[in-house]
């Protein structure tokens, strides 16, 4: 029997229960993936607490990697024994899953299952920020709010390699060193002179703000961005940002948002994943620690993520 994490109600990490499940054979257009590494993302916490609604009982999780052990009728392009990973398909907290054949990404020989589960969703979200929400060009000055988080740390390093000047903001002194490692300039969110320091680097304002925090940091982003600039609202850990004000509209500030699946789909998946794997191969993220939790430690993983105790990119290992 396979195992999965199931929640019968929303609440604390204690609602996450491991149960046995009979996955069964794949149906038409499906593959069965035996998963040995599962990615953990902040949206999983939002599912557990009800901020990202799912029908209950629910199995959280949106990305995993493993080996296809069965293919259903009508499936082409995959066969038994292929290594694959998927992103943004619900129910990933399981040791095996039935996946529509459109969802898996075949893994290159030099990309391990752990690397795929660690970076696929987070890396493609960073790709969305750099190539879709705002087409980053060399010489851009960017502000990353939440730069010590999983996606923020990936995006900062990637953007700097693309030629951007990266101003990273850390939420606490303990996270400042991590932000410094990925940014051109690093500051604390609590610094009373933060806006002044940002304007000293970019006198007219930054070209784009990548906001992974939401409501709490939105005013800083508005103050820092140049007239005609972009605020890419990717995360909302502190709540949804307010609506566009008349002043923002008069300054020509553009608010761009959306989920990764809106921008990475169809033919874009192959392009985006190959650029992500190239970044991995180039060791752009080699200094980022992977934090491994056993499958039965999912409650502890959620508790660490929710309390901001994570020291790296989290995965579940089976």
Q: Angle at CA 118, nearest 5°, toward 117 and 123? A: 105
At 71-130, the pLDDT tens digits run: 999 999 999 999 999 999 999 999 999 999 999 999 999 999 999 999 999 999 999 999
State the chain's mean pLDDT as an integer: 94
For residue 128, report the phi and psi dihedrals to the nearest 5 degrees: -55, -45
Instruction: Estimate the share of the chain in helix, then strand, then coil, as percent rounded to the nearest 5.
Output: 35, 30, 40
**pLDDT in the model for residue 295:** 98
In the chain, beta strands by DSSP E? 2-6, 17-21, 30-39, 63-71, 83-87, 96-100, 105-106, 141-145, 165-170, 185-188, 206-211, 225-233, 254-257, 290-294, 313-317
Q: Would you tell me which CATH number, out of the four given (3.30.390.50, 3.40.605.10, 3.40.1280.10, 3.90.180.10), belongs to the domain 2-107+288-317?
A: 3.90.180.10
Residues of the chain with CATH 3.40.50.720: 122-261
Residues of the chain with CATH 3.90.180.10: 2-107+288-317
**pLDDT in the model for residue 311:** 86
Higher pLDDT, 238 or 277: 277
Residues of the chain above pLDDT 90, percent? 82
Question: Chain centroid to CA 258: how far?
Answer: 13
Question: Are the beta carbons of 176 and 186 closer than 8 angstroms?
Answer: yes
Q: For residue 167, count CB atoms less than 10 angstroms from its CB and return exposed for 0-12, middle for 13-18, buried for 19 or more.
A: buried
Residues of the chain above pLDDT 70, percent? 98
Question: Chain centroid to CA 22: how far?
Answer: 29
**pLDDT in the model for residue 236:** 67
Model confidence, pTM: 0.93
Q: Which of 179, 181, 178 is nearest to 210 (CA)?
A: 179
Please check the confidence at residue 317 and state whether its pLDDT lies above 60: yes
**pLDDT in the model for residue 283:** 96
Question: What is the pLDDT averaged over residues 22-37?
Answer: 97
Q: What CATH number should be reported for the domain whose range is 122-261?
A: 3.40.50.720
At 212-262, the pLDDT tens digits run: 987 777 888 999 999 999 999 987 665 677 677 788 888 999 999 888 888
Computed from CA positions of residues 11, 146, 43, 307, in that sequence, does the dihedral angle turn out positive or negative?
negative
């Amino acid at each position: 029997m396979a195992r999965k994490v199931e929640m019968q109600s929303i609440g604390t990490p204690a609602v996450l229960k491991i149960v046995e499940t009979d996955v069964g054979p794949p149906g038409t257009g499906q593959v069965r993936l035996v998963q040995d590494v599962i990615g953990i993302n902040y949206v999983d916490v939002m599912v557990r607490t009800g901020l990202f609604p799912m029908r209950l009982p629910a199995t959280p999780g949106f990305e995993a990697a493993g080996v296809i052990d069965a293919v259903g009728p009508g499936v082409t392009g995959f066969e038994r024994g292929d290594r694959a990973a998927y992103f943004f398909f619900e129910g990933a907290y399981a040791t095996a899953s039935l996946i529509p054949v459109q969802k898996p990404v075949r893994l290159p020989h030099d990309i391990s299952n752990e690397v795929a589960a660690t970076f696929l969703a987070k890396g493609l979200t960073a790709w969305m920020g750099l190539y879709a929400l705002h087409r980053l060009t060399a010489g851009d000055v960017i502000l990353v709010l939440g730069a010590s988080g999983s996606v923020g740390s990936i995006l900062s390093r990637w953007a700097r390699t693309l030629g951007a000047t990266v101003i990273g903001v850390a939420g606490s002194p303990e996270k400042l060193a991590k932000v410094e490692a990925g940014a051109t300039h690093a500051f604390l969110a609590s610094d009373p002179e933060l806006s002044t320091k940002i304007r000293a680097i970019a006198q007219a304002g930054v070209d784009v703000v990548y906001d992974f925090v939401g409501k709490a940091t939105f005013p800083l982003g508005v103050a820092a961005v140049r007239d005609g600039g972009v605020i890419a609202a990717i995360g909302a850990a502190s709540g949804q940002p307010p609506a566009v004000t008349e002043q923002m509209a008069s300054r020509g500030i553009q608010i761009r948002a959306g989920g990764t699946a809106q921008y990475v789909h169809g033919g874009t998946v192959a392009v985006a994943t190959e650029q992500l794997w190239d970044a991995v191969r180039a060791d752009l993220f080699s200094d980022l620690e992977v934090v491994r939790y056993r499958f039965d430690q999912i409650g502890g993983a959620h508790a660490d993520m929710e309390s901001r105790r994570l020291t790296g990119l989290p995965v579940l290992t089976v």
